[in-house]
Amino acid sequence: MIKDCKKILILGCKGCVTVCNVGGSKEVGILASLLKIARKTGGDTIIVEERTLERQCDPEYVETVKDIINEYDAVISMACGVGPQFLSEMYPDRRIYPGVNTTSFGGAVRHGVWAERCAGCGTCVIHMFDGMCPVARCSKSLLNGPCGGSSKGKCEISNDVDCIWDKIVRKKMEQGRLDDLLVVKEAKNWQTARDGGPRTSIREDIAE
Amino acid sequence: MNDLKAGSNLEKVLKAGHFAFTGECGPPKGANVEHLKQKIAHLKGVVDSVNVTDNQTAVVRMSSWAASTIMLQEGVEPNFQMVCRDRNRLAMMSDILGVYSMGIRNMLCLSGDHQRFGNHPQSKNVYDIDSIQLISLVKKMRDEGKFMNDEEIDVPPKLFIGAAANPFADPAEYRVYRMANKISAGVDFIQTQCIYNMEKFRAFMKKAVDMGLHEKCYILAGITPMKSVGMAKYMSSSVPGMDVPESLIKRLQGAEKGKVAEEGIKIALEQIEEFKEMEGIAGIHLMAIEWEHKVPEIAERARLLPRPVV
């Protein structure tokens, strides 16, 4: 996609992607070197500029490249999927590409391993399930689980995936609160999730 | 007739106190109606109702409602299966209306195997609602004559509502409560997962009876006869939530050459005899996978024929 571009700007982000080791200044540096080596091997040249912004999900930081961005044929954002979109909104005539494949809302369960914890569904149910979310963590998002495929604490889809319902049930039983699960949970209203269309959150007290 | 919920043959057989016998039939992997009709023919007059699976193991097949309709035309009562994997609530409700309109009177509500098992693992899964919410939905449509959103239905669908129970999945101690939840949601009958570990199943049923669950819904014990040692080993190691004891595999291995399938049938027949006497069991559900032609023989040898006419 950037084969014909001679001047590239790689923009890292100091937020979540830095913490996750995918889009901070270190990774920006690595990508820049790779691009230069690849071009040189192909007998071509390239100019690559590296910058890492405080965040790419706030216009005030995206704005900081306004004086230089026009010098480049293409911009690669190393932020999550939000970054390239904030960039393309502020600089509509620029060619903006994502440098990171955003996967999920998760956390580092151990060094170098991130696991999903939240589906961002807009109607949190974690309080009903003792701090665990079946919407994000059950392969079928069951609100009345576990299904018949739960085996030895693992999900039917893979032995590498924990059955979150196994954990929910065990905790409720161990703590004598099984009754919480003997009430059928009603169908979820997905309007607040992506199913309801793109979402906008407004804090009335601070919105301008 | 008025006190029947749906008026299906299965409902009448169970209500009259007969030991029910249901079968299973997977729709073809294509539009091969002739092959489907052949499979159906083996079951005609032999069972009270036949489950028609819905893209089982997440492999695309002829739709369960269409195959159920063909089954009706062939004079066999279908038990239409619906999984939550492939349809959102709109599609579910419209299919429920559709199958009722076509004369279908039984419906089994299932979560469905995850699409990762099937032949289109790339697909998006739906799971708009889960199997227990589906039970509530079918019951609401039938008994209140309302859609999920409380709008009135112009001629509500009257279906005899079924669900599955797997006594062998984990956490084992929770399984009877999950079945109880399905009963609270409004299920009329339960068909269990294939039973091989009888000891575990007896314990499960004892708990169910102690909780009085057998008085609130009909429980049918699931049986799948083993055709070979390979099948037993595969079920033991690769099918989620299946409990095949080592002793059963040994018994099959001990059978004479060419007699393994017969040994599998003998085991099934012994199970059926025990289920006939087991407290809380209202019948059996025979899932003879791609072995429909053996069902008449099994029914005969299990002294389940002729089927009651009610």
CATH classification at residue B21: 3.20.20.220
Report the 3 state secondary structure along B91-102: HHHHHHHHHHHC
For chain B, say whether A173 makes contact (Cβ under 8 Å).
yes
Confidence of residue B1 (pLDDT cuts 50, 70, 90): very low
Task: Show Cβ contacts of residue B61 under 8 Å, excluding neighbours closer than 6 positions.
Answer: B26, B27, B28, B29, B53, B55, B67
Q: What domain range is B184 assigned to?
A: 9-301
pLDDT digits (tens, 9 = 90+) for B113-136: 999 989 999 999 999 999 999 999
Domain membership flag for residue B197: yes
Domain membership flag for residue B307: no
Of A139, A152, A184, nearest to B184 by CB-CB distance is: A184
- Write out residues in chain A with pLDDT < 70, as ranges: none
CA separation (Å) from B7 to B4, B57, B136? Answer: 5, 30, 19
Q: How far apart are CA B135 and CA B188, in angstroms?
A: 10
The chain A residue lying nearest B237, using CA atoms, is A151
Set of chain A residues whose Cβ sits within 8 Å of the Cβ of B185: 184
pLDDT surpassing 50 at residue B55: yes
Q: Tell me the percentage of chain B whose pLDDT exceeds 70.
A: 99
The answer to whether the CB atoms of A149 and B169 lie below 8 A apart is: yes
For chain B, say whether A147 makes contact (Cβ under 8 Å).
yes
Please state the domain count of chain B.
1
Set of chain A residues whose Cβ sits within 8 Å of the Cβ of B164: 148
Set of chain A residues whose Cβ sits within 8 Å of the Cβ of B93: none
The answer to whether the CB atoms of A156 and B114 lie below 8 A apart is: yes
User: Using an 8 Å Cβ cutoff, are B78 and B71 in contact?
Assistant: yes
The answer to whether the CB atoms of A148 and B136 lie below 8 A apart is: no
Output the average pLDDT for chain A.
96
Return the DSSP state at B143.
I
pLDDT at B160: 98
Q: Which residues pair with B163 in a beta bridge?
A: B109, B190
**Does the complex come out with an ipTM higher than 0.85?**
yes
Which amino acid, one-letter code, is at A179?
D
Alpha carbon distance, N-terminus to C-terminus of chain B: 11
pLDDT digits (tens, 9 = 90+) for A67-113: 999 999 999 999 999 999 999 999 999 999 999 999 999 999 999 99
**In terms of DSSP bridges, do strands B160-165 and A154-155 run parallel, antiparallel, or are they unpaired?**
unpaired
List the Cα angle B24/B25/B31 in 5-degree steps: 165
Domain membership flag for residue B232: yes
pLDDT at B15: 98
Residue with the bigger pLDDT between B3 and A121: it is A121
For chain B, say whether A156 makes contact (Cβ under 8 Å).
yes
The answer to whether the CB atoms of B148 and A187 lie below 8 A apart is: yes
Domain membership flag for residue B193: yes
Which of helix, strand or coil describes residue A107?
A: strand
Domain membership flag for residue B306: no
Domain membership flag for residue B212: yes
Peptide bond into B171 cis (omega under 30): yes
The average pLDDT across B163-184 equals 97
The chain B residue lying nearest A143, using CA atoms, is B130
The answer to whether the CB atoms of B114 and A170 lie below 8 A apart is: no
Of A139, A153, A187, nearest to B89 by CB-CB distance is: A187
Which amino acid, one-letter code, is at B48?
D
Domain membership flag for residue B19: yes
Residue A45 backbone phi and psi in degrees, to 5 = -120, 165
Confidence of residue B2 (pLDDT cuts 50, 70, 90): low
Domain membership flag for residue B82: yes
Set of chain A residues whose Cβ sits within 8 Å of the Cβ of B85: 140
The answer to whether the CB atoms of B174 and A173 lie below 8 A apart is: yes
The answer to whether the CB atoms of A152 and B131 lie below 8 A apart is: no
pLDDT at A208: 85
CA distance B75 to chain A (A): 32
Confidence of residue B57 (pLDDT cuts 50, 70, 90): very high
Go through the domains of chain A in sequence order and give each one's CATH number.
7-98 (3.40.50.2300), 105-190 (no CATH)
The answer to whether the CB atoms of B114 and A142 lie below 8 A apart is: no
